[in-house]
Chains A and B, each alone.
Chain A
Amino acid sequence: MAAREPDNPEILDVEVAPDICCRFMNCLRIARKAFRLDKQTGRSSAPGWREVDPALLWQAARSCPTGAIRLMTAEGYVVPRWQETDAWSMDRHPAAARPHERSREPYKGMA
């Protein structure tokens, strides 16, 4: 079973699949210190992933339109973009209503 963010698994490595990085650059905007764009290839990589909050890495990976960002965690290998899509639920996405005491809790995925 793949890792899930709510389990808070330790991230061991972050990989950007170069063949499907299409330069949307969401990763650079969401987790600025983690990702870097190679000016020669136009592809992103994650040399600074240890310097940022892991929650930002999950969010960057979920928001990568092509699913190019993969996380290696202590619980397994996961592509958050497709993990979330696979478990997509109208009742659990961040825009769905919540009780007031949970209204400000950060979104942690649907898987």
Chain B
Amino acid sequence: MAVAPAFVKGETIKREIPPYTFEPGDPMPEDYRQAVIHILTIESRIESEYPMMPEKTLVPAMRMAPRPEDWVRYASYWAQEVQHATYWIKMLAELGIDATSQEFMSRPKPIYIFDMRDEADSWAEWAYFSYFADRQGAYMGWEWLDSSYGPFARIAERSWREEEGHAQMAHEMLSYICSTSEGREFAQKKLEKWYPAGLDMFGKSDSTRQYDYIRWGLRRRTNEEMRQAFKAEVDALLKSIGLEPPDPLANRRFL
């Protein structure tokens, strides 16, 4: 088994900008403003696909859902993600960016696990998408508690808790699949594909931008610190339903 890299803890980096310092109309350092826009662009590009591209985010899942209760659960999840999309659209609009434009939505997706969702061939793959992507969304929501940017700070707890709910939905989906030996075997095979993408969602461990974000009060933890916490949580959950987490360094794109 390969060894995961060591990492810097966010708490060792001195924070320079206190909670709730900036609202969108305030003058702010240009680097800080660009950092806020960068975070929002990732969130908005991804989550605006819920309302703007239901042919990718709703229809295929509803066709693959195995039971009527899964229709209800998934449709409820989708509706909540539509609401989340309006947060990021509004926040970008207040910084002068139209996130509903064709130009904005034509940009490549910033995280490759979202391209994998578009090619998901089974309910198990839909489950893994939310298992990893929505859980990562919950981790990001937690990062914004007491953010220096007021809108992030206000949305943090709600985003965190609701994305946790989406990850719980994924666990329900996967638990059902793993309730038979055939289903568990299929899910284990698919896990080899999705697990590295899940860990890659946190980006490179040596990114320099992450330290600026922590100093500016836009993040609390480093990429690798989040990834290790995420991995520990995911591994325990996977094992609870009879799945074996793969080698954490196999097939990874970002270390």
Q: Are A and B co-members of a single complex?
A: yes
Chain B contributes a number of interface residues (CB within 8 A of A) equal to 35
Q: Bound state CA distance, A95 and B44, in angstroms? A: 13
Chain B residue nearest to A63 (CB atoms) is B162
B115 close to chain A: CB less than 8 A: no
Contact with B along A62-94 (1 / 0, CB 8 A): 010111000000000000000001001011011
The DSSP consensus for interface residues of chain B is helix
* Interface assignment of B4: CB less than 8 Å from any CB of chain A: no
| Contact across chains for A90 and B90 when beta carbons are under 8 A apart | yes
Q: What is the distance, in angstroms, from B78's C-beta to the closest C-beta of chain A? A: 9
**In the bound complex, how far is the Cα of B158 from the Cα of A63, in angstroms?**
8
Q: Which residues of A contact B77 (CB under 8 A)?
A: 24, 65
Say whether chain A's binding surface is mostly helix, strand, loop, or mixed: loop
A94 with B164: CB separation less than 8 A: no
Least CB distance, A100 to chain B, in whole angstroms = 6
Min CB–CB distance A18 → chain B (angstroms) = 12
* Cα of A59 to Cα of B162 in the assembled complex, Å: 11
A65:B80 contact, CB within 8 angstroms: yes
Which one, B86, B154, B169, contacts A22 given CB within 8 A?
Answer: B169
Given A63-B162, A93-B90, A94-B158; A23-B168 close (CB under 8 Å): yes
B60 within 8 A of A: no
Q: Which residues of B, 61-88, contact A by the 8 Å Cβ criterion?
A: 69, 72-73, 76-77, 79-80, 83, 86-88
**A24–B165 CB distance below 8 A:** yes
**A111 on interface, CB distance cutoff 8 Å:** no
Query: What residue in chain A is nearest B167 (Cβ atoms)?
Result: A24
B25 and A97 contacting across the interface, CB-CB below 8 Å: yes
Is A11 on the interface with B (CB-CB < 8 A)?
no
Contact call B23/A26, Cβ cutoff below 8 A:
no
If A22-B72, A95-B91, A98-B150 touch, does A88 touch B83 (CB 8 Å cutoff)?
yes
Q: Of all chain B residues, which has the CB nearest A25?
A: B168
- A39 an interface residue at 8 Å Cβ cutoff? no
Q: Which residue of A lies closest to B94 (CB)?
A: A97
- The smallest C-beta distance from B69 to any residue of chain A, in angstroms, reads 7
Instruction: Report A's interface with B, CB cutoff 8 A.
Output: 20, 22-26, 29-30, 59, 63, 65-67, 85, 88, 90-91, 93-100, 103-104, 107
Q: Which 3 A-B pairs have the closest CB atoms?
A: A24-B165, A65-B76, A95-B87
**Contact surface of B with A, Cβ cutoff 8 Å:** 20, 23-25, 69, 72-73, 76-77, 79-80, 83, 86-91, 93-94, 150-155, 158, 161-162, 164-166, 168-169, 172
In the complex, 14 of the A-B residue pairs with CB atoms within 8 angstroms, ordered by the A residue number, are: A20-B72, A23-B168, A23-B169, A24-B73, A63-B165, A65-B76, A65-B77, A65-B80, A94-B151, A95-B151, A95-B152, A96-B151, A97-B23, A97-B151
